[in-house]
Amino acid sequence: MRPMLAFDTSTPCARVAVLSSEGDCLATAEKVAARHSSHLLRLCDEVLRATGTTVAGLAAIACGAGPGSFTGLRVGLAVAKGLALADRIPLVLVSSLDALAEDLARSEGGESFVLPCIDAGKGQVYGRLYRVAGGAPEPIGTDELVLLPEDLCRLVQEQAAGGAVAAGGNGVDRYQEIFRAQLGVTAVRFQVAGPSALAVGRLARARLARGEHDDLATSVPRYGRPPDITKPRDRNPGA
């Protein structure tokens, strides 16, 4: 299999990587910014040049689909589609929470569960509990949740039933006092470098191996909740 370009833009840190056909990281780059529209293509060009790879030579383009920053997700998917379109390269979308769970599971040893959390704004976090079995995190339940951090912690305590939990992600970083108080100091992992592009790529490789990829025309981000839409004001309320 040819190399794969992978990236995630669900958080303020855009992470990009080129993976070998075996899933090894050949090059990586990242940048923290309020918006990713001005630098994501530049990061992609940087890692492709570093590996001597062209877009046409890619086996696939993998993109973190969310949940996360609405603007970040739209930029990421737009770039992924634009790069894939010209040469009809397979597009493979991956849950950003799945990728972050993979990062947590690889960095933590002996934990029964991992809890990836991405900041959702409005005092909430996106999160989902995963059971770690043989090193591969398996999601509990079918839904990616958007909840107040204290509500998520209560749900996790019920689901984990006393098992060891490792919680991390920028949602945990923002509400660390709540996670510390409700899950315990040893459960919280700060400044986890994810969702990583490497995790996105590895999960995408597994989907490709099963013959799965996503449609360029119809694929949309997994926002986690409906975007805020403000209706135009009625300029003639008495009419």
- Residue in 137, 92, 136, 96 with CA at minimum distance from that of residue 119: 96
What is the full DSSP assignment across 104-153?
HHHH-SS-SEEEEEEEEETTEEEE--EEEETTEEEESSS--EEE-HHHHH
Can you give the pTM of this predicted structure?
A: 0.92
4-95+195-209 CATH fold: Nucleotidyltransferase; domain 5 (3.30.420)
Q: Could you count the other beta carbons within 10 Å of the beta carbon of residue 219? A: 17
pLDDT tens-digit series, residues 9-28: 999 999 999 999 999 999 99
Architecture of domain 97-189: 2-Layer Sandwich (3.30)
User: Is pLDDT at 99 greater than 90 in this prediction?
Assistant: yes
Helix orientation angle between 149-160 and 176-183, rounded to the nearest 10 degrees: 30
Query: pLDDT-derived band of residue 239, with 50, 70 and 90 as boundaries?
Result: very low
* pLDDT 10s digits, 120-146: 999 999 999 999 987 689 999 888 999
157, 112 Cβ separation under 8 angstroms: no
- Residue 109 has a pLDDT of 65
pLDDT of the residue at 234: 53
Per-residue pLDDT tens digits for 78-97: 999 999 998 999 999 999 99
Domain 4-95+195-209 and domain 97-189, same fold? Reply is yes
Domain limits, the chain: 4-95+195-209, 97-189
